[in-house]
Structure 1
Amino acid sequence: MKTIPLAEAVKLKSVLTKKIPELIQEIHLVSHVIIEKGETPKSSGRLLKDVEAELEQVRKDARTLDRLIYRANIDNTINFKGEELPIVEAIELASQLRAEASLCKDLGKSEKERLYSGRDNVVLYQVALYDPIVYRQKANELEKEAHRLSNLINAKNYQVEVEFDDSNYF
C-alpha cells in the first residue's frame, strides 16, 4: 500500500471535509430538472448515482484518514523540554501555551496603577497586584515555546508515514 506523510494526511482530511458539503450540494442540483409537461427528463450534469458513489467514497476516505491520523498522533512522540509527548498531547500543549500567552498579554497591557474614579472628594485608584512588565515578558516566552513546539510537531508530521492511497485526490 502507498504511504503518505502524516502532514499530507491532515491536509487531505481538511480537503475531504470541505468536499463533502460540495458533493451534497451537487446531489441537490443533479437530482431534479425542470421540464415541460410531457417531456422526458434529461440529466444536465453527472448522474445522481455517480455523485452519490463519489460522496460515499469521500466519506469512507475521511473516516479512514481520521483513524490513521488519530493512531499516528497517539503512537508517535515528540521530545519537548526533556519530556516525550505523544503528538496528540503536544498539539494540546501548544494550544494551552498559546492560550496562556494570550492571558499574559492581556495582563501585560494593564497599567500598574491608574485613576479609577473620584467622587465626594475621594480619589480611588485601580492597582495591579502584579507587575505588567513581567507578564509581557512571560507572554513573549510562552509564544516562543508554542512556536518551538509547533515546529517540532510540523517536522514530526513530515517524518511519520501513514498507509493511504491518495491517488484519487492528488
Structure 2
Amino acid sequence: MTNLSLAESVKLKSVLAKRIHELEEEMDRVAFVEVEKGRKVPKQVRSLSQVEQEIDEIRKDFRLLDKLMYRANIENEVVFNDEKLAIVEAIELATQLRAKARKCKEFGAAAEEELQYGYGEGVPVIRRAMFDPEEYRLKAVELERQANRLSNAINNKNYSIEVDFDSEKYF
C-alpha cells in the first residue's frame, strides 16, 4: 500500500467524483433496453448490479479519503503572519481574504464623485464616496498578495503531508 500526499489526495478526490458521475450515467444506460416486442433482449457487457457494486466501492473509498483529508487539514498547520493556523482554518482565511479583496476592488474602482441622473426635477444630485478609492485599490492589491502567499503556504504544506490511502487502483 502506497501513501499519497495531501495535494495528490485532492486530485484523487476529483478523479473519484468524476468516476462516480460516469458510473451513475452507466447505470442509466444499463438499467433499461428498448427492444421490439417478441425480440430477444440483447446481452449487456455489465449488469446494473455490477455497476452498482463498483459505484458502492468507489463511494466507500471517497468517504475514507474525505475523512483522511479532513483529519490532515485539522491536525496540520501552516504559519502565516507569524501565526500558526490549522490548514482548514488557513483555507477559510484565504477564501475570506479573496472576498475582502474583491469588495475592496469594487470600492477602489469607484469615482470619488459622480453626477446621478433621474433624480428630482432638474436638481442635480451628486453621489460622493465617503472613502478614498485609491486607498481601497491599494488595500485590494495587498489583500490579494496575502491570499496568494497563504495559498502557496497551504499548497507547499499539502505536498509534505502523507495520507494513508492506497491509490494504486486509481492512479
Q: Return the TM-score normalized by structure 1.
A: 0.93
Per the TM alignment, residue 120 of structure 1 is displaced from its structure 2 partner at its CA by: 4.7
How does 1:2-41 map onto structure 2 within 5 Å?
A: 2-41=2-41
Match of 2:146 in 1: 145
Aligned residue pairs total 170
Displacement over 4 Å in runs of 4+ = 117-121
The SS at the match of 1:115 is strand
Aligned-partner residue type, residue 123 of structure 1:
P
Per the TM alignment, residue 64 of structure 1 is displaced from its structure 2 partner at its CA by: 0.5
Match of 1:159 in 2: 160
Aligned-partner residue type, residue 94 of structure 1:
A
Mapped to 2, the partners of 1:119 and 1:66 lie a distance apart of 59
Contact 1:30–1:43 (8 Å) recurs in 2: no
Q: Return the TM-score normalized by structure 2.
A: 0.92
Structure with a larger share of its residues in strand: 1
**What is the identity percentage for the equivalent residue pairs of Structure 1 and Structure 2?**
51
Per the TM alignment, residue 131 of structure 1 is displaced from its structure 2 partner at its CA by: 0.2
Deviates more, 1:16-25 or 1:113-122: 113-122
The SS at the match of 1:125 is strand
Match of 2:113 in 1: 113
- Unmatched 5+ residue regions in structure 1? none
Q: Does residue 1:122 correspond to 2:135, yes or no?
A: no
Contact 2:100–2:140 (8 Å) recurs in 1: yes
How does 1:21-100 map onto structure 2 within 5 Å?
A: 21-100=21-100
Per the TM alignment, residue 168 of structure 1 is displaced from its structure 2 partner at its CA by: 1.2
Per the TM alignment, residue 121 of structure 1 is displaced from its structure 2 partner at its CA by: 5.4
- Unmatched 5+ residue regions in structure 2? none
